[in-house]
Chains A and B, each alone.
Chain A
Amino acid sequence: MKSNGMGKWLALGALVLSLLSSGRALAQSALVDGVASEPRSADPYFHAEEPTNNLNWNIYDGLTRFDVDYKLQPALAEKWEAVDDRTWVFHLRKGVKFHDGTPFTAEDAKFSIHRCGTWAKSGYKDSVSQIERVDAVDPHTVKIVTKGPFGILPAMMGRVMMMSKAYVEKTGDDAQATKPIGTGAYELKEWVRGDHLTLVANEGYFRGAPKIKQVVIRPLTNDATRTAALLSGEVQLIIDVPVRDVARIKAESKIEVVSRDSSRVIFLKMDQAREKSPKLESPTGKNPFLDVRVRRAFYLGINEEAIATHVMNGFALPIGQMYPSSIFGYDEGLKRPAFDPEKAKALLKEAGYPNGFSVTLDSPNDRYVNDEQIAQAVAADLARIGIKVKVNAIPKNTYFPMMDRFESSFSLIGWACNPPDAIRFLDTNAHTVDDAKGLGRYNYGHYSNKKVDELIQAASRSIKQEERLKLMVEAQRVAVAEDVAFIPLHAQVNLHAKTKTLIWQVRADNYHIYFEMDLAK
């Protein structure tokens, strides 16, 4: 038995010695990307979640696409125009082929949009729900008729990936999850669940052959493991760098942290509908949030600069509106008012709450970067103007269903507009709750202002972009500056880390689009 143990040790030693030689030969023309979560399916309509989209947007293309700055660009459609306010014509690029060599035509586009909206398991139905009819006019022209005027249709088409009609019909819906055929820059070669996915370059890609010939995506869900894999050179790129590892990475000479403001804004919602709110106790017995002076006092009483510096380690952009500058609808003129606890106290007194009141702040604790800590900091700030805030930080799995039942008085939440158009926020968060029309689905504070509703509806109806911009800017001014319907805190910053040999500009939408990358020799 003793010799057995010795033998094992000897074998181990031999292994260790042989390591240096077999180490890192692979990483030359191939990129290994360490992602925080495994994609769920290669079917581009299955789930609209970031890691899954990230995979599929490398394999497929939409009629349109977003560039690194989140601006709309042509993709499978060369150009498009609105014939009238309900009819759009997309002119498809000629000579585009799927990975299996068959040409991409208008029939494929028609089929894809139809499948996106009707496949039972589609998580993307909302992207096409405003479409009434799709016609293939000729092999390179698609006509889309919407139910009503729908100004963001071209942007929506950047989310709907184009599949091959013949291939999907031949292989069936379920096969798409693991054996995708697209027109995109990469083909899926291998998927070993939980371990890695291998993508190989599509040399015939219509935007040119990708510079990186092979990409391996490895799900490294543990933050420390992901950082370690980058430090040891096993991966060349990682997403979602934990804030605490930034200093460690900066100390290395061969790797660097790259960051960009994300489109996700963290903000607070207040119950503005009920006379008596469930998680609130005030001396008058009424709901103080009904008074705009109270909401404004909250806004002025929160020291966001301090939150950005101390809670977020500087990786947050304090903001005075509901979306950052990369979103269409951003308002240059709308600034965050300065932190002013004295004025906040005065406002509370004026509103009849000189001694404040107590309220519960509901927050998820596993959804946004440092979400629970942000809620704690908000509570501490508000304590200084006399408001007793109890923080209720719970997992997102229970938080969102609770919010859906309108059981909250005061809550912390985040929102990212996708596609990057402010209407995505306004429709879902600022419009009066209207389940029948699917509006105000996330308006957890039940904010309701007829003027804002009209502006939002007008912006939805219009297909003239300058006019839409004006309407959306006005809607936000009323909702945020006049009504203080929401209290914006900051835009999250996305952190990625990479080897310096990887040439890449961080995208505003946080995606890793490998076509845009190159490895220096």
Chain B
Amino acid sequence: MFGYLLKRILQSLGVLLAVSLVVFLFLYHSGDPVQLLLPPDATRQQVEELRRHLGLDQPFAVQYGNFLRNALQGDLGTSFAFNQPAIRLIVERAPATLELALTAMTFSILIGIPAGMIAAVRPKSWLARLALSGSLLGISMPVFWLGIILILVFSVYLGWLPSSGRGETTLIAGLRTGLFTLDGLRHLVMPALTLAVFQLALNIRLVHAGMMEVLLQDFVKFLKAKGLSERRIVLVHTLKNILIPVVTVLGLQLGNLIAFSVVTESIFAWPGMGKLAIDSIHGLDRPVILAYLLIVSALFVFINLAVDMVYTFLDPRIRLK
């Protein structure tokens, strides 16, 4: 187990190194941030001065070398646009994104798994039909469209929910969260739902398909013959057998929720790191883009590792080597 972990961590570092090189290469060739940082009437001399100051006049290898050296000391650079450490900017924004992604995840599990099970066990009920047709809609709907429609209905026409921002937040152990104020929760509902819809729909379909398959297997018939209650068969024995694909997808999707909250965050002006990333891309704020992509890649790698570990608990036959 320990050797396996070590190997995985070394692999992860390799992945991060590759990501940093690719991103750095792209950023190096994507326009000139200095042009965007100076007023339009700045002289050429000022442009050169700033370029030197930011180290952008150096050749690629030197710039990348400097970046790596600083990165090893935990410094991913200073934002051009905000003149603050890129890491600090992202860490400042991370709680908002995590709050949004985890709430969305919770929605998708609490609604998606039961709905998928009902759809499989009681295929003819109206609930099953609602769940299945709803899930099809959920998978096909573009996120930004859904977000705008929710805003139009609940904020503009009904005036029930605020359309944007995070509302009132409290500081809990140094982390800013809106989970403990009514205003914060009101702000959270629509973005979390918007972000959850795709995964919610996916969960329904995944659980439904898995259940349909498992319910036909011999061991289920045997359990029925043995006289077990349907509730026990479904909730314990069948569920266990379908959880492996579900956990895999949930794990991957947590990464997705965090990484692709970008769209939801910009629609709802949610002050998370996705919105920061988009703004930074518009402003060619290289250090922030780079730091964001590295942190998100690290998250993906970590989540994948965690998913592999969880397998061993769900199915003892799986050994990690």
A residues sitting closer than 8 Å to B (CB atoms) are 1-2, 4-5, 8, 12, 15-16, 18-20, 22-23, 37-38, 40-41, 43, 46-49, 120-121, 123-126, 129, 174, 177, 192-196, 218-222, 224-225, 228-229, 231-234, 395-398, 400-401, 404, 415, 424, 427-428, 435, 438, 441-442
Contacts and interface: CB of A to CB of B under 8 A. Distances in A.
Contact of B114 (A1, A195, A435): A1
Interface stretch (B59-67, B156-164, B218-226): B156-164
> Which of B163, B186, B235 is packed against the most chain A CB atoms within 10 Å?
B163
Given A23-B159, A232-B156, A438-B43, A5 B111 contact: yes
A280 B114 CA distance: 65
B152 A395 contact: no
A400 B47 CA distance: 13
A401 B35 contact: yes
A4 B235 CA distance: 14
A182 B38 CA distance: 23
A428 B38 CA distance: 14
Interface in B194-236: 235
A435 B47 CA distance: 12
Interface residues of B, number: 63
Nearest to B160: A19
Contacts of A404: 32, 35
Contacts of A15: 182, 185-186, 189
B240 to A, nearest CB: 14
A161 to B, nearest CB: 14
Contact of A229 (B164, B186, B266): B164
B52 to A, nearest CB: 10
Interface in B248-292: 266-269, 271-272, 275-276, 278-279, 284
A420 to B, nearest CB: 13
B104 interface: no
A216 to B, nearest CB: 10
Given A2-B114, A124-B39, A395-B31, 7 more contacts: A1-B113, A5-B115, A40-B82, A218-B165, A221-B279, A441-B44, A442-B41
Nearest to B93: A194
A441 B235 contact: no
B31 to A, nearest CB: 3
Contacts, number: 169
A194 B43 contact: no
B298 to A, nearest CB: 21
B38 A123 contact: yes
Contact of B235 (A1, A41, A231): A1
B84 interface: yes
Interface of B: 30-33, 35-46, 53, 81-84, 89, 92-93, 96, 107, 110-111, 113-115, 148, 151-152, 155-156, 159-166, 169, 176, 182-183, 185-186, 189, 235, 266-269, 271-272, 275-276, 278-279, 284
Contact of B151 (A177, A225, A427, A435): A225
A8 B164 contact: no
Nearest to A129: B43
6 contacts: A15-B182, A15-B185, A123-B37, A193-B89, A218-B165, A397-B33
Contact of B160 (A16, A194, A224, A400): A16
Contact of A47 (B37, B182, B186, B267): B37
A404 B42 CA distance: 12
A401 B284 CA distance: 13
Nearest to B111: A5
A5 B164 CA distance: 26
Contacts of A221: 266, 269, 275, 278-279
Contacts of B156: 228, 231-232
> Which 10 residue pairs of A and B lie closest in terms of their CB atoms, listed nearest first?
A194-B271, A397-B31, A48-B39, A438-B43, A195-B271, A232-B155, A401-B32, A400-B35, A19-B160, A231-B156
Contacts of A2: 114
Contacts of B82: 40-41, 177
Given A46-B83, A397-B32, A5 B269 contact: no
Contact of A234 (B46, B93, B164): B164
Contacts of B35: 397, 400-401, 404
Contacts of A196: 165
Contacts of B38: 48, 123
A37 B82 CA distance: 13
B170 to A, nearest CB: 12
B266 A224 contact: no
Contacts of A177: 82-84
Contacts of B169: 192
B97 to A, nearest CB: 10
B267 A232 contact: no
A50 to B, nearest CB: 10
Contacts of B155: 228-229, 231-232, 234
Contacts of A224: 148, 151, 267
A43 B84 CA distance: 13
A38 B279 contact: yes
B243 to A, nearest CB: 13
B271 A8 contact: no
B159 A8 contact: no
A401 B42 contact: no
Contacts of A424: 41
Contacts of A438: 43-45
B39 A126 contact: yes
Contacts of A43: 83
Contacts of B84: 177
A18 B189 CA distance: 13
A22 B269 contact: no
Contact of A428 (B41, B89, B110, B115): B41
B93 A193 contact: yes
Nearest to A398: B31
Nearest to A124: B39
B149 to A, nearest CB: 11
B92 A229 contact: no
Contacts of A396: 36
A477 to B, nearest CB: 23
A219 B269 contact: yes
A385 to B, nearest CB: 32
B183 A22 contact: yes
A192 B160 contact: no
A126 B89 contact: no
B5 to A, nearest CB: 33
